[in-house]
Structure 1
Amino acid sequence: MRRSDRIEEAAGLWLVRRSEGLSPEQHLALEAWLDEADEHRMAFWRLEHAWEKAERLTALRAPGTLQAALTPVRPRVTMNRRWFRGAAVAATLAIALLGASSTLWPRPAAYQTERGERRLVSLSDGSRVELNTSTRLRAALSTKEREAWLDQGEAYFDVAHDATRPFVVHLGERQVRVLGTRFTLRREGDEVRVVVAEGRVEVADAHPRPKARPVVLRPGGVVTAERGAMLQTQTSMDQVENELAWRRGMVVFDQMSLGEAAQEFNRYNKIQLEIPDAQTAGIRIGGSFEADNSEAFVRLLHSAYGLKVERRGDRIRISE
């Protein structure tokens, strides 16, 4: 059995247990299982949502089916009510998955790029997504909703307008919701960055906390978020273009520290730049460079800044 199938099965079992009522210990165990991985939470919420929708839709589509599944035939051997309740819940879940998942929650298509690679993805609704280096994206479009999951990396979204189907991108503890717009997302672990180029974007917690309100961004709007913190700022459209320079195969530094610039080059190149000294890493630098040409960048550091360059295999150490 594939890992994704095992996760789906476990999520279904947890739904059955929860419907019967969880003890405090079981509730803690469920929370621990959900916290183990994003895949656990997504599978649980997806099945839960499909189940809820199916309970509303099944009666309209096939009134007798759900009733038949929930009405046990009287057996000759008496069985306890708890078993019947569990069987009924399992039957309801099966109906939910079979009747709703294929149309409401199709299995996401997966897209990926390796280091230094870029890729253009055209979705069936007319939306286009450009994937930057080392990026993993999944997308699932149905007749009711449009969803994507940015598991890692950076992507530029050009979302086709559809007022009846909002486009939602999940980024771990955050989600972005739009109708039709252009924006870029970057995710590195728990850290998320959203930059809007056109239209309007709503950024919210995946699980809203008390008094927490979504942040609405317009062109030039930026959100950086990590764990429980979310910071909203506004930047110029020129700076937005700089952030999108990777779409042209470029990186643009505007008074960026040398340490941060090295990290950017390391995203695109097999040759990794190392700057062990904090003072050297703090040097400010600006300019436009080809993302896949760290060698030219290193030559500039040596000739213009007088920095020492030491090569060790696929690593280059830079120092004063």
Structure 2
Amino acid sequence: MNGGRSMPDDRALFADLLQMTISKDPLGQDALIAEASRWLAALDAGSARPDEFEAWRRADPARAVAYARVAASWESTAAAQPGATQAPVAAAPVPTTAGRRQWLKAAAVGLPVMLLGSGFIAQRAYAWDNATTRVGEKRRVPLPDGSVAYLNTDSSLSWRFTTEKRMLRLDRGEMALDLRHGGAALLHAKDAVLPLAPGLFDARVDAGQAELTLVDGAAMQLPGIAKGMMLQPNMAIIVDEDRAPRLMARSTEQVQSLMAWRAGEIVFLDQSVADATADFNRHLTRKIKVTNPDLAREKIGGRFDLDRPDQFLKAVSLSLDARVVTTPDGYELTR
């Protein structure tokens, strides 16, 4: 969880002191508090993956409650420091003149019985929100600043918006991101952090690769990715695990086909049957398999409804002299 990075001293002390109470707690509540405090410290230090945190928090309501208690306690502590402008959260009394470390020592004993703030406070202060789609599902996700993300099939997006930063993380799948009415943002995709200016984007993450296409908007610099890189409309930046980031120009037709899923369609522009099948399978629970190597290398083009794989199967069958075999799991294309 900490990725080898050290926690801030105060948060490390917070975790250690909370851990001291575990042996006195047969119901495990203090253990949850201690675990939640370690997550808070790692998230604050930037050494925890938000998707892993969300998986931990959502797996058990008791974890969400424990995290809310810890986060609200820490927030009230921060508000009590000299010069703080944020109003304290309702919690156990915290003397405004007490040092943070003194309060932490007291909180190690007092936390199990403290009446603290709600999960909303924890979510707002430290956690990432998340939205997902199932295979074959699409979803419109309004973002806090008025921007909108559209999730494609089998996708997961996390975001954290504060007054200073707008951060998004595409954990898997694909999204169209409309930032034209919002502000600048940072997109985390695989190991890349991509600065985004207002515009319309398509972002996709798959095995070993992240890809971001600027569909509409002004050209923008990509600092921190490669010196001098400029992302233009109808251009994509591709980040591989084992290669340097690279730019790829796309035609208007290619960009339109890339975004066709927003209208419930899938478009192939002279693609191999193998690649076209792989793209279609992202949207299907009943998959298509190509069992003939020669057929897999053949090229095909066309526009098909995403919920009508039979259209695609018929086109391959008629144009490429293929046979369609229905199986318990889906379909086979062969010769």
Q: Quick check: 1:249–1:290 contact (8 Å CA) kept in 2?
A: yes
Q: Quick check: 1:175–1:203 contact (8 Å CA) kept in 2?
A: no
Q: Quick check: 1:149–1:171 contact (8 Å CA) kept in 2?
A: yes
Equivalent position amino acid for 1:129 in 2: A
Instruction: Give the equivalent residue in structure 1 for 2:38.
Output: 10
Instruction: Give the equivalent residue in structure 2 for 1:180.
Output: 198
Aligned length: 269
Distance in 2, matches of 1:160 and 1:36, equals 28
Structure 2 residue 277 is matched with structure 1 residue 262: yes
Instruction: Give the equivalent residue in structure 1 for 2:151.
Output: 131
1:9-158 equivalent positions in 2, closer than 5 A: 9-11=37-39, 39=52, 59-61=82-84, 68-69=98-99, 105-158=125-178
1:181-220 equivalent positions in 2, closer than 5 A: 181-199=199-217, 200-201=219-220, 212-213=226-227, 215-220=229-234
Distance in 1, matches of 2:311 and 2:184, equals 44
Partner SS, residue 257 of structure 2: helix
- The alpha carbon displacement at 1:179 in A equals 3.0
Structure 2 residue 247 is matched with structure 1 residue 232: yes
Structure 1 residues 180 and 223: CA distance shift in structure 2, 3 A: same
Equivalent position amino acid for 1:135 in 2: S
Structure 1 residues 244 and 299: CA distance shift in structure 2, 3 A: same
Structure 1 residues 195 and 7: CA distance shift in structure 2, 3 A: farther
Equivalent position amino acid for 1:111 in 2: A
- Unaligned 5+ segments in structure 1 are 19-33, 44-50, 74-85, 91-97
Instruction: Give the equivalent residue in structure 1 for 2:3.
Output: none
- The alpha carbon displacement at 1:65 in A equals 7.6
TM-score by length of 1: 0.69
- The alpha carbon displacement at 1:172 in A equals 2.4
Distance in 2, matches of 1:201 and 1:226, equals 21
Q: Quick check: 2:155–2:172 contact (8 Å CA) kept in 1?
A: yes
Partner SS, residue 289 of structure 1: strand
Structure 2 residue 222 is matched with structure 1 residue 222: no
- The alpha carbon displacement at 1:71 in A equals 6.5
Instruction: Give the equivalent residue in structure 1 for 2:293.
Output: 278
Structure 1 residues 114 and 307: CA distance shift in structure 2, 3 A: same
Q: Quick check: 2:190–2:209 contact (8 Å CA) kept in 1?
A: no
Q: 298-307 vs 64-73, which deviates more?
A: 64-73
TM-score by length of 2: 0.66
Q: 307-316 vs 238-247, which deviates more?
A: 307-316
Q: 181-190 vs 153-162, which deviates more?
A: 153-162
Runs of 4+ in 1 over 4 A off after TM superposition: 4-8, 11-16, 34-38, 64-67, 70-73, 101-106, 201-205
- The alpha carbon displacement at 1:237 in A equals 2.1
Partner SS, residue 60 of structure 1: coil
Structure 2 residue 265 is matched with structure 1 residue 250: yes
Distance in 1, matches of 2:307 and 2:327, equals 19
Distance in 2, matches of 1:256 and 1:244, equals 16
Structure 1 residues 306 and 269: CA distance shift in structure 2, 3 A: same
Cα distance per residue 1:233-283 (max 9 Å; x no partner): 111222111110111111111111100100111111222110133322111
Q: Identity percentage over the alignment?
A: 22
Distance in 2, matches of 1:35 and 1:121, equals 24
Q: Quick check: 1:159–1:181 contact (8 Å CA) kept in 2?
A: yes
- Unaligned 5+ segments in structure 2 are 1-28, 57-73, 86-93, 109-116
Higher share in helix = 1
